[in-house]
Structure 1
Amino acid sequence: MPLYEHVFLARQDLAQAQVDGLASAATAIIEEKEGKIVKTEIWGLRNLAYRIQKNRKAYYVMLDIDAPADAIRELERQMAINEDVIRYMTVRVDEHEQGPSAMMRRGERDRSNRSDRRRDRDAA
């Protein structure tokens, strides 16, 4: 089956449980059409480059999907009518990235840099 990466942005005023619910709803749509979700990453609440529908921030969620094209069409149809989803994008890929995505690695690197600076400040 073809491989896809699907990223969607959810409104900033949702609770984390609601964002998790959106991700599980997407998983249910894909599995209903005999596809499977290989990996789910919730990148958290992040700033947007520009305002979208009066939102300055959004929850980012990425899904690695192994599913037929009709499952992706249904997923995109459901995303388009869901008021909690601001934007979404699906890209067909040759293979899924192993391990955490670049966004997750970036967050880990930023956290480690902050703790290093804090340690240096405390030592001085």
Structure 2
Amino acid sequence: MPLYEHVFISRQDLSNAQAEGLVEHFSTVLADNGGKVVFSEYWGVKTMAYKINKNRKGHYAYLRTDSPSAGILEMERLMRLHDDVMRILTIKVDEHADGPSVQMQKRDEREPRRERR
């Protein structure tokens, strides 16, 4: 099955438990449509570069999935309809990286940047 990575931003006035509950909710939507969540991370409340729906901050969540495209389309459809979800991003990848995402790694654990010319 194809591999996908998802990031979604939910409203800032949700509690941490409610934001993590959204991850579980969308994981069950994928499972009902023949997919599975390989890895998920809750990144916490972060300040955004610009306001979205009058919000300056939002709860960020990250999912790595292995799912057919029909499951992904259904999950995205439900995310767009959900009042608490402000933005979504889905990317199809060739393979999932091992370990935590770059967002959760400490600065000294990351690979060094390449030199600029």
* TM-score, length of structure 2 as denominator length: 0.90
Report the CA distance between 1:20 and its aligned residue. 1.1
Unaligned runs of 5+ residues in structure 2 are 109-117
> Normalized per residue, which structure has more helix?
1
Counterpart in the other structure of 2:78: 78
After TM superposition, which residue ranges in structure 1, 4 or more long, deviate above 6 angstroms?
none
Deviations 1:70-106 (A, max 9, x none): 000000000000010000011000001110100001x
Secondary structure in 1 matching 2:104: helix
CA separation in 2, counterparts of 1:20 and 1:45? 12
Counterpart in the other structure of 2:56: 56
Report the CA distance between 1:109 and its aligned residue. 3.4
Counterpart in the other structure of 1:12: 12
Secondary structure in 2 matching 1:103: coil
Counterpart in the other structure of 1:26: 26
Secondary structure in 1 matching 2:103: helix
User: Matched residue pairs, number?
Assistant: 108
CA separation in 2, counterparts of 1:94 and 1:44? 27
Q: Which amino acid aligns with 2:5?
A: E
Deviations 1:16-58 (A, max 9, x none): 1110110001100000011110000111000000000000000
Alignment RMSD (CA, Å): 1.0
Secondary structure in 1 matching 2:86: strand
Q: Which amino acid aligns with 2:29?
A: I
CA separation in 1, counterparts of 2:34 and 2:97? 22
* TM-score, length of structure 1 as denominator length: 0.85
